[in-house]
Amino acid sequence: MQRRHLLMAGSATLALPVQSPVHALDFVAPHAPAAIRASADRLIDIVVGIRPFRALGPRIEAERIAGKTVVHHYGHGGSGWSLSWGSAQRTLALVQAGGARPGERIAVIGCGAIGLTTARTAQQAGYKVRLYAKDRPPRVHSCAATGLWTPESRIVASAHADGVWTAGWEAMARASFKVHQSYLGLPSGPVEWHDGYVVSDDGFDTPLHGHDDEPDYPDIGDRIADLRPRGKALAPGEHPFRVAHARRFTQLVFNIPAYQRLLLEDFARDGGELVQREFRAPREFARLPEKLIVNCTGDGARTLLADKTLTPVRGQTARLIPQPEVDYALIYRGQNVVVVPRRDGLLVQAMGEHDFGSTDLTPDRALSEAAVQRLAALF
């Protein structure tokens, strides 16, 4: 069965152990969930980004190009922010194996989630880093991410998720989780925990179908189930939504603008240099003064390196005017709606019918307005 992410998001959330049977007195919450003011006139922004899906999983390997050692680090699908720190640590090992010594300057190409965390990981290991980027936040694709910690989202096709690969993924997910925890409690709130609800009209056993051209994705969330609090089924009287089925969960959320700003500030504080530059062909690497280059170009590698293993996946997110009292995430299963309670607004993600394989960056306001209308029906 083909399954789509993020709404299979259920894959992480619904797969959690559920306490049973459920009694009304078991439901403990600090307050009743506040209603979301879901109306199209409260939409303040719509952005589109491209997720770089690679059926083989992220490319983390080194090769020689134009006389340089180039360490590739891209192709994280919908797991860029979630998996970034762990995969950066694996990339650092290749940097060290490539002959670069602490104190030397290396180049990192790309200023998205993967580029920023790779640069910071290298700095923390003692390297000087010059970061080259065509665009910087907020004009990078990872700015359009939802901000949920979903390290298994479109990360690999089932056909390539053997035991060795899955064990490596688990190690990266756990390492990333550990670093994300170090950002909790900071004034700008780059990383926070939030409760959330998965709701459904038809129940949670109804299959969700993806696009015909999407591969099957592996169910690997159970390997890190201990990192997520237990989910719980709720009886109709235990939630305020106009649906028959609901479950409560707890999820890690990234306030992406604050997170990006903090990473950039830390990068500059530790002597990092940011150079605006676009690379159109690998031969241009030869002009860089650095001997070792880390390529974190994400979907850009599809054209820069003519990498046919990458598949672009369009993702559109919109923001409603912030409601501080709405401090919970919401997944409307079967209705293609995800809400994330971020400080820059209530982020609403909706999925189009032709996102997989699409490079269209044109915002589709009708798609987001329709998602907001479906959301309004819940209240």
Share of the chain above pLDDT 70, in %: 91
The answer to whether the beta carbons of residues 108 and 129 sit under 8 Å apart is yes
Please tell me if the domain spanning 7-53+191-219+227-253+311-376 has the same topology as the one spanning 54-143+257-309: no
For residue 203, the one-letter residue type is G
Cβ distance 366 to 232 under 8 Å? no
Strand ranges inside 150-267, DSSP E = 191-200, 231-234, 245-254
Give 19-37 pLDDT, tens digit per residue. Answer: 333 333 344 444 578 999 9
The ranges assigned to domains in the chain are 7-53+191-219+227-253+311-376, 54-143+257-309
Q: Using alpha carbons only, what angle is made at residue 51 by residues 308 and 363, rounded to the nearest 5 degrees? A: 120
Q: Which CATH superfamily is domain 7-53+191-219+227-253+311-376 in?
A: D-Amino Acid Oxidase, subunit A, domain 2 (3.30.9.10)
Residue 319 has pLDDT above 70, yes or no: yes
| Average per-residue pLDDT for the chain | 91
In whole angstroms, give the CA distance from residue 150 to residue 217: 13
pLDDT exceeds 70 at position 292: yes
Show the tokens assigned to 35: 């209603």
User: Strands (DSSP E) along the chain, which ranges?
Assistant: 18-19, 43-54, 59-65, 68-74, 105-109, 128-133, 191-200, 231-234, 245-254, 273-276, 292-295, 310-320, 328-333, 337-342, 345-350
Find the radius of gyration of the CA atoms of the chain: 21
Q: What is the pLDDT of residues 240-265, one digit of tens each?
A: 899 999 999 999 999 999 999 999 99
pLDDT at 4 (0 to 100): 46
Architecture of domain 54-143+257-309 in this structure = 3-Layer(aba) Sandwich (3.40)
- pLDDT (tens digit per residue) in 142-198: 999 999 999 999 999 999 999 999 999 999 999 999 999 999 999 999 999 999 999
Q: How far apart are CA 243 and CA 85, in angstroms?
A: 38
For the chain, counts of helices (H) and of strands (E): 7, 15
